A and B are shown apart, each in its own frame.
Chain A
Amino acid sequence: MNNFEYKQATDAIDATDAVAASEDAMFIAGGTNLVDLWKYNLVHPKLLVDINHLHNHKHITELENGGLRLGALVTNADTAYHPLVEERYPLLSKAILAGASPQIRNMATNGGNLLQRTRCYYFYDPDVPCNKREPGSGCPAMEGYNRIHAILGASDQCIAVFPSDMCVALAALGAVVNVSGNNGERSIPFTDFHRLPGDAPDIDNHLHHGDLITSIDLPVRGFAQNYSYLKLRDRHSYAFALVSVATALELDGGIIRDARLALGGVAHKPWRMHEAESVLIGRTADEATFAAAAEVILADAKGFKYNNFKIELARRAIIRNGMMALNPETQLPGAQPSA
């Protein structure tokens, strides 16, 4: 950890100006990931711009179009337990509560959740090569212990996965990220927010240096009747997903009228594929239908020595989670498989 300057920002413009002005400046909100990265010697901010006093971004408000705006500085816990989120977007609430620990969720903010870095072991060790940390240095994960790594959308540079649970639900729900930057404000559809590693695995998303997430907008439709989030991992809490699935359905009788399907723990970003959702629409909500969608979304999946199991696991998880979405009341805490 290095010495640094500290500045408390008064508003979003003050904050973005301060960070944009210096290559080595970073925002800090909850700090639940940044402080780890810093202590591990992976980042070295020389200026820390504290945005915790930006009170305008600490609210959850109803939008005129009937949607909901989640302030970037609302904590993950306050979001998950907000009555409007619980009532209208229970998928999001469940996904948030499947992540991290209560202590971390009490500190972590919504904006920060989108910006967390991968948990790839090799990325976290500054003494070994990593293309994400040091472009061009290599990727020991490909030939190493890659149990937690990607099966979709990876490149020959990087097979890391994005660790968030919350973002899987946001991708499924079709959220929009509002950003304040040097060139004013703009909105980014959620599925376009994060990027695949390609040949620049060091870049996780489409923000520019100095861009500040101010809020996340949820569309009107929250799929509150038929939804489920399932998280499969090596212990029942406080572990990142090996595979997670967000499923949201709109049913008419037994027929699926609209569907959302997104995977976590399998790629460099929350993995949502419209073609797979199209497979579901118009069909009976049963195991065969969910299996058909799984075939499509996993068609290009590619495993490595230690994570090949994720392909079959994801297929089964998509089927189970589809069935769980038909009876949301059967869901257990921690997004565990239904009993």
Chain B
Amino acid sequence: MVGRPVSRLEGKLKVTGAARYAAEYDVPDLLYGYVVNSTITKGKITRIDVSAAKALNGVLEVITHENRPDVASVDLKYTDMDAPPGVVFKPLLDAEVKYNGQPLALVIAEDFETARYAATLVIIEYQEEPFETCLDHNLEKARKPEKGLATMLKPPPPPPTGNFEQAFKDSPVKVDSEFRHGTEHHNPIELFATTTVYEGEGKLTIYDKTQGTVNNQLFVANVFGLHYKDVRVLSPFVGGAFGAGLRPQYQLYLCVMASLFLKRNVRVVLERKQMYPFPHRPQSYQRLRFAADANGRLTALNHLAISEASQFEDYVETVAQWSHKLYPAPNTLFEYKLASLDLFTPLDMRAPGGVTALHAIECTMDELAYEASIDPLEFRLRNYAETDPVTGKPFTSKALRECYMRAAKQFGWEKRSPAPGSMTRGNKFVGYGMATGIWDAYQFPSRVEAMITQDGKLVLNNAVTDIGTGTLTVMTQVAADELGMPMENVTFNYGDSKKPFSMFQGGSSMTASTGVGIVVAVKALKKKLLKKAKDIDGSPFKNVSGEDVAFRDGSIFLRRSPSVSVSFQEIVAANGGRPVKTTNMGAPHVLKLRKYAKATHSAAFVEVEVDKELKMITVTRAITAVAAGTIINPKTARSQITGSMVWGISKALHEETILDEKLGKYMNQNLAEYHIPVHADINELDVIFADERDDLINELGVKGVGEIGLVAMPAAVANAVFHATGKRIRELPIHFDKLL
């Protein structure tokens, strides 16, 4: 089944509405919580009056910092698996207001409308304090980030090499550019929601919107002092998350608090605007100085990146060093800094750091190619890294050259005339732009239980979520192949913290992580099945070894005489009807991989039309070629890449959270004004998967697809806009009026 474009197994449930999400579980005697958010940006609550709200018929309780139940007092207890260095924010802790929209109270009522109305009756008086929310006006505050656990996944930039300043000064071709990005919010269509079922003293079943069931289980148990085994977090369907579900969000905390406080079943659903005082992609400032010799070989790379942090946590991303993972240069200087602002902590949002950096890097490369009078694609090829430029290590695989060539050919790059504004079509200028993409190839440990049940079918259990990426389908394909079984005889149970361990789902890591877990578990299951088969009285397998048998269609066969077989059903029957099962951990081969560099790569080619007078921009077509190892399911993988390409167009041309720094708050907190592309903005998109075989990376040869479809797109769009108009707009999104 691996390599086949299998449609999503849960697709019908989703399109018919049968799939249930966190806010949709029917629970008896359910109470509804509605959050009251801060209307100021910074200060203290001087008075909070809940009497009018509480007096309303149907309101049970209003929880505030004044009457909240006890929670863990040790900061460490709040530290989820994705927590950056610092002190985790705790809702309803005290009277301090640290950011606009901070949750300050939870109204709990018999029905949602009563709770929502009662929330308007809660009177809060504040003593306001001055605040700073705009990164651009606080760049001088930038400093080195704190180090912590998160630094392992997102290392700081490597130390400088050579002598950048001298080399930059001496190089004949150079570019010095500044880039600015505003805030973006994940805005998944499914609103963040939690339904908590109170199962008796200290015992909870929680339906939550999350990318990590185990992460949130541990968080709830730690914060509220419950036993891990008494907290079960379920998240079988997730209506998009894009990183927003990597950490427990405030509706989970408040919902659990209310459930324990009232010993009742409680649901808290956030409204769209209540998802803006949320983690987000941070504002950023970047300055890049790249230089090349007369032959177009890079001599010096300097990338300074400054991002926003909150006052309490140092969320970090990998930004500054990406150029040197793509291009060799003898003189490098990479710097990454944070400036603390009075906003909530940022969080990973699809291709965190990567898409921020690559917009700047690949636009600078384009600019440098023009300075050197070299075709932008040729310029990349001249600076192609055969081995990792930072460490000199070989890549486990790298088919980026194939990506460039195949995408360029299909796109028709050779038809491009280099001069800006030299290609036209009626009232429009036509621009061709390209860019390179790179992303990490992550793999996390994953524990999988595999069992053959009485009916001879395969059941797998793992706590991982399926955030809409196709995890269920892909894992079923992997397992079916590994055991030589049709997919319909494989059941993959997931999205449940009670199942064996999985990390949260992020970074394009899950196919490698859970997939390898499955391979390892099913391999072990095969051994066990053979052993059990040998134990059967008069078994023809008594003296055979693993190499002598094959597993196919629910039976074990002797390779030499396939008529000799025993079915899984017979094996389970001989096992007293008890399922034959095993639980195993799949993990990356850390020692072996230490000798290699690993990454996924992509190349994006984009055509834009820009109206000659009115300057409205249309992305008329785009092609992305991706090198990400084995593609388990070309259909779901393609969806990941086209979805990311749409996001890339969005980031380049549409998407922005508008921040009013005088008010210290976001102003477009709804999907009508937070612009993402609509159908009319998206035209021809195509995806090419390079034939990249990787026998080193893991058992499946999988490197992951998701973020890699996004990283190259914004720069490719911006470069195409330059080619059409001759204007370099280095601030995203590119508003068309900047071209007037």
Taking a contact as CB atoms under 8 Å apart, the answer to whether B120 and A238 are in contact is: no
Q: Which residues of B contact A (CB under 8 A)?
A: 39, 113, 116-117, 120, 271, 273, 425-428, 611, 613-614, 616, 618, 653-654, 658, 660, 662-663, 665, 667-670, 672-673, 675, 677-681, 735-737, 740
The verdict on A236 contacting B673 (CB below 8 Å), with A3-B117, A144-B667 known, is: no
On chain B, the residues within 8 Å of A124 by CB distance are 670
Alpha-carbon separation in the docked complex, A291 to B273 (Å): 43
On chain B, the residues within 8 Å of A122 by CB distance are 667
Taking a contact as CB atoms under 8 Å apart, the answer to whether A339 and B426 are in contact is: yes
Of the A-B pairs whose beta carbons lie under 8 Å apart in the complex, a sample of 27, sorted by A's number, is A119-B673, A124-B670, A125-B665, A125-B667, A127-B39, A140-B663, A143-B662, A145-B660, A145-B667, A234-B736, A235-B681, A236-B618, A236-B678, A236-B681, A237-B678, A237-B680, A239-B675, A242-B737, A309-B740, A312-B740, A313-B614, A313-B740, A317-B614, A320-B613, A337-B427, A337-B611, A338-B426
| A121 on the B face (CB < 8 A) | yes
9 nearest interchain CB pairs? Answer: A236-B680, A309-B737, A127-B39, A121-B667, A237-B680, A237-B678, A316-B613, A339-B426, A144-B660
Taking a contact as CB atoms under 8 Å apart, the answer to whether A144 and B663 are in contact is: yes
Residue in A232, A239, A242, A339 whose beta carbon sits within 8 Å of that of B427 in the complex: A339
On chain A, the residues within 8 Å of B668 by CB distance are 121
The verdict on A234 contacting B678 (CB below 8 Å), with A1-B117, A122-B667, A320-B614 known, is: no
Interchain pairs with CB closer than 8 A, number: 90
Taking a contact as CB atoms under 8 Å apart, the answer to whether B654 and A235 are in contact is: yes
Residue in A145, A310, A320 whose beta carbon sits within 8 Å of that of B658 in the complex: A145
| A137 on the B face (CB < 8 A) | no
Alpha-carbon separation in the docked complex, A116 to B439 (Å): 46
The B interface, classified by DSSP as helix, strand, loop or mixed, is loop
The verdict on A121 contacting B675 (CB below 8 Å), with A1-B117, A41-B120 known, is: no
Taking a contact as CB atoms under 8 Å apart, the answer to whether B679 and A235 are in contact is: no
Alpha-carbon separation in the docked complex, A41 to B119 (Å): 11
On chain B, the residues within 8 Å of A235 by CB distance are 653-654, 675, 677-678, 680-681
On chain A, the residues within 8 Å of B113 by CB distance are 1
User: Which residue in chain B gives the minimum CB-CB distance to A125?
Assistant: B667
Taking a contact as CB atoms under 8 Å apart, the answer to whether A337 and B614 are in contact is: yes
Interface residues in A112-159 (C-beta closer than 8 Å to B): 119, 121-122, 124-125, 127-128, 140, 143-145, 147
| A2 on the B face (CB < 8 A) | yes
15 more contacts with CB within 8 A, not counting A127-B665, A235-B653, are: A1-B116, A2-B120, A3-B117, A124-B670, A232-B614, A234-B653, A234-B675, A235-B654, A236-B618, A236-B681, A238-B678, A313-B614, A313-B740, A320-B614, A339-B428
1/0 per residue A194-232: CB within 8 Å of B? 000000000000000000000000000000000000001
Alpha-carbon separation in the docked complex, A338 to B612 (Å): 11
Number of interface residues of A (CB under 8 A): 39
| A282 on the B face (CB < 8 A) | no
Alpha-carbon separation in the docked complex, A336 to B618 (Å): 11
On chain A, the residues within 8 Å of B735 by CB distance are 147, 234
Alpha-carbon separation in the docked complex, A254 to B427 (Å): 22
Alpha-carbon separation in the docked complex, A39 to B677 (Å): 25
Alpha-carbon separation in the docked complex, A119 to B677 (Å): 19
Residue in A39, A127, A145, A313 whose beta carbon sits within 8 Å of that of B737 in the complex: A313
On chain B, the residues within 8 Å of A128 by CB distance are 663, 665
| A328 on the B face (CB < 8 A) | no
On chain A, the residues within 8 Å of B658 by CB distance are 121, 145
User: Which residue in chain A gives the minimum CB-CB distance to B101?
Assistant: A127
On chain A, the residues within 8 Å of B614 by CB distance are 232, 313, 316-317, 320, 337
Taking a contact as CB atoms under 8 Å apart, the answer to whether A2 and B616 are in contact is: no
On chain A, the residues within 8 Å of B675 by CB distance are 234-235, 239
Taking a contact as CB atoms under 8 Å apart, the answer to whether B613 and A237 are in contact is: no
| A25 on the B face (CB < 8 A) | no
Q: Return A126 CB to nearest CB of chain B, in Å.
A: 9
Taking a contact as CB atoms under 8 Å apart, the answer to whether B681 and A121 are in contact is: no
Residue in B39, B425, B654 whose beta carbon sits within 8 Å of that of A234 in the complex: B654
